[in-house]
Chain A
């Protein structure tokens, strides 16, 4: 249910306060130690941030997409690491259950995800399966009451701490495409499930991705999402549609934060006897970043409202993800440029932001995949 303006403003203000007073001051430490301090994760859990999108009847807040986007834009002002901590529970780690799960599966798993007591994770990508997501090679072989899973999932966000994985595996070996894939809910303590070493990444130190390995891992048949084989790929695509919008909101919030830092530096840095912000070439960069961020805000909220109104937003969500992820890259790049040499030095946040935003153009569908989808939808007449 959509919130009234006063309540939504109170939510956003509270999140902004968390961002400004607790998260942003901790960014350096988080990046240096490659970990979010436990006390900060606890605060985020107690504030209810893990349950933004999960309906109230399952212990969450059940925000509308528009309200969720407002909250994610506010939270997105802090380092993307913090968004990543809650991102899987709010998005890809819970949505498959919510969208296609049975009532029993919802009752069983959603309350723990909503409270943040368990971390949810989404396992689609494999060593040989990236953009060609339908070509999943992890297998699930039915044996009586269980499916036996074998295979390796790669670059799985929050895998090291996850208690529950949404795993795409092939149940029909005779069908090598999407129709042979099913979605499973796999608990961390299932025998045969192990987690690889966290990867060393370009940015977002403090957020962890790792391999998830299944070796003859028996998963109860009742854990197949919706109790239906062969629809896992379709479920995954629905989950990603929604996730793209949340990512777009996060990109937008972070771009607005970076823009503020660009402007603050341009007003303060003196060259040729005056602040560099008085030079038109610097003003042009600020203007472009502002226009980029404002465009993003408009399209994200417009798409979110359309989703709340029950419209099919699949193409628009792809367009948002494409634009917003590329946009925040441009804004972070201009910020480095405005900072000059200082922007290349690791002591300044500009350098970290530049690395942190690079992933947005890659995960949950690369820019190229978004373009292919949008192009196909437009040419096929799916959008007018």
Chain B
């Protein structure tokens, strides 16, 4: 069976992000970008399934500007066999992305669709779930373990109360949480070879999807700067201030 992994190009997690001065979005010009860390975990899981002989082919998919090719090359260096870029300058939102992923998953006849549980830029945590909806497939989200059991998957997912175990019929949509695995570093020779692996470019129109955003961001602001603290002379003043000024007791 084949696996598809969605890899999103996001601002590198080490970068301190800044909101554009006009509040229209987050500054991305000249900022280091890399693969969404949760997608790295999803990719690692798919590659391990391939190494174990369970999966025959791993296809990496990314969507957005042509620079997403870099993210796909990284996926190819880690172990994906080929890559598909859905190239568009549109402001992509989870609905359009999940619709395009579902079209690609059907076109490529994959049995497993992997994603990170969310992307660290907008933290929407919707794409995997909506893709499962479009495909009509079962979904295993926030996975911390995954085992293939014949025609089914046995997964553990992290929920508020602890771990939930599910048995899912294949095909299925799977989203990775932090503890699913520890992604490897791409080997340097494989980074050099990644250039030679196939990378196909398609457009949203090719997939029959209108990527136009359905949601509008009204404004974006930096978190307020933390105001300095004050010193109080005694506990009585502290309690009084917590009551009358902070209004927390």
Which residues of A approach B to under 8 Å, CB–CB?
A: 3-4, 6-7, 10-11, 13-15, 17-18, 20, 22, 43, 46-49, 51-52, 61, 71
Contact = CB atoms under 8 A, between A and B. Distances in A.
A3 to B, nearest CB: 7
A49 B191 CA distance: 12
B70 interface: yes
Contact of B185 (A6, A7, A17, A71): A17
B188 A61 contact: yes
Contacts of A11: 188, 191-192
B74 interface: yes
B201 to A, nearest CB: 16
A52 B188 contact: yes
Main secondary structure on B side of the interface with A: helix
Contacts of A17: 185
Contact of B192 (A22, A49, A61): A61
Nearest to A1: B192
A61 B189 contact: yes
Contacts of A52: 188
Nearest to A10: B191
B77 A10 contact: yes
B187 interface: yes
A49 B70 contact: no
A73 B215 CA distance: 45
B185 A14 contact: yes
Nearest to A17: B185
A47 B187 contact: yes
Nearest to B191: A10
A18 B191 contact: no
B73 A10 contact: yes
12 contacts: A6-B70, A6-B73, A7-B195, A10-B70, A10-B77, A14-B77, A14-B188, A18-B185, A47-B188, A48-B189, A51-B189, A61-B188
Contacts of A3: 192
Interface residues of B, number: 17
Interface of B: 14, 34, 70, 73-74, 77, 184-192, 194-195
A51 B192 CA distance: 13
Contacts of B188: 11, 14-15, 47-49, 52, 61, 71
Nearest to B14: A20
Contacts, number: 48
Contacts of A71: 188
A14 B189 contact: no
A52 B187 CA distance: 11
Nearest to B188: A48
B43 to A, nearest CB: 14
A128 to B, nearest CB: 41
B40 to A, nearest CB: 11
Q: Which are the 6 A-B pairs with shortest beta-carbon distances? A: A48-B188, A48-B189, A48-B187, A10-B191, A47-B187, A47-B185
Nearest to A59: B189
B131 to A, nearest CB: 28
A51 B70 CA distance: 24
A361 B194 CA distance: 39
Nearest to B190: A48
Nearest to B186: A14
A61 B188 CA distance: 8
A163 B192 CA distance: 28
A51 B188 CA distance: 9
Contacts of A47: 185-188
Given A15-B188, A18-B185, A47-B186, 8 more contacts: A3-B192, A6-B70, A6-B73, A22-B185, A47-B188, A48-B187, A48-B189, A48-B190
Contacts of B191: 7, 10-11, 14
A252 to B, nearest CB: 20
B65 to A, nearest CB: 15
A52 B192 CA distance: 12
Contacts of B34: 13
Given A3-B192, A61-B192, A10 B185 contact: no
A20 B186 CA distance: 15
A36 to B, nearest CB: 16
Contacts of B14: 20
Contacts of B190: 48
Contacts of B70: 6, 10
A46 B187 CA distance: 6
Contacts of B73: 6, 10
A43 B189 CA distance: 14
A46 B185 CA distance: 9
Contacts of A10: 70, 73-74, 77, 186, 191, 194
A43 B185 contact: yes
Contacts of B186: 10, 14, 47
A6 to B, nearest CB: 7
Nearest to A9: B70
A15 B185 CA distance: 9
B108 to A, nearest CB: 25
Contacts of A15: 188
A188 B116 CA distance: 48
Contacts of B185: 14, 17-18, 22, 43, 46-47
A7 B74 CA distance: 10
B110 to A, nearest CB: 26
A15 B194 CA distance: 16
